[in-house]
Amino acid sequence: MIDEALAVRVAHELQTAGLQPVSRGSNPTGGFAIQPFEEGILVVWDPSPELSETVVQKITTGDIAHPAVLHSGTIEHAMAEAIVIILRSAGLNAQVSRDDLSPATVEVS
C-alpha cells in the first residue's frame, strides 16, 4: 500500500526542483515516477523515450555494452543521486537503494 501523503510530498518537492513526473500515454516524456515500496515509496528516473527505446533494442539483441546503454545507466545513477540530495534538502529520509536488482532507485521512508 502506497503512503499517499508521502508520495504527494515527494512529487511536490521534485516538481518544485523543476523535475517532471513521467507522462505515459500519447506523449511520453522522461522524468520521475513514484512506485509503492514496503517501507515507503520508490522514485525512479526514466530517460527520454528515444533513449529508452534504443536501450531496450540494444539489450534485447544482447548489446549491453552499447554506448546508449552505458549512457542511460550513467544518467539514471546521476539522477538518483540528485533526487536523494533534493529530497534530503526538503527534510525527507531518502537514499539510493542498496538492492542490486533496483540500482539507481531512490527509497523514501
Please indicate, yes or no, if residue 24 is contained in any of the structural domains.
Answer: no
Torsion angle, CA of 7/11/12/14, rounded to 10 degrees?
A: 140
- Identify the top-confidence range among 29-33, 39-43, 48-52, 75-79: 75-79
> Per the domain annotation, does 23 fall within a domain?
no
Please provide the average confidence, as pLDDT, over all residues in the chain: 92
Specify if 69 maps to a domain: yes
Q: Is 100 within 8 Å of 76 (Cβ atoms)?
A: no
Average pLDDT over residues 72-94: 97
The band of 9, judged by pLDDT with boundaries at 50, 70 and 90, is: very high
Q: How many independent structural domains does the chain possess?
A: 1
Is residue 10 situated within a structural domain? yes
Tell me, what's the pLDDT at 37?
86
- Sorting pLDDT into bands at 50, 70 and 90, what band is 28? low
Rg (CA), the chain: 14
pLDDT value, residue 26: 55
Residue 78: is its pLDDT beyond 90? yes
Tell me if 52 is assigned to some domain: yes
83's enclosing H/E stretch is helix 67-89
- In whole angstroms, give the CA distance from residue 94 to residue 79: 13
The pTM of the whole model exceeds 0.75: yes
**Banded pLDDT at 90 (limits 50, 70, 90):** very high
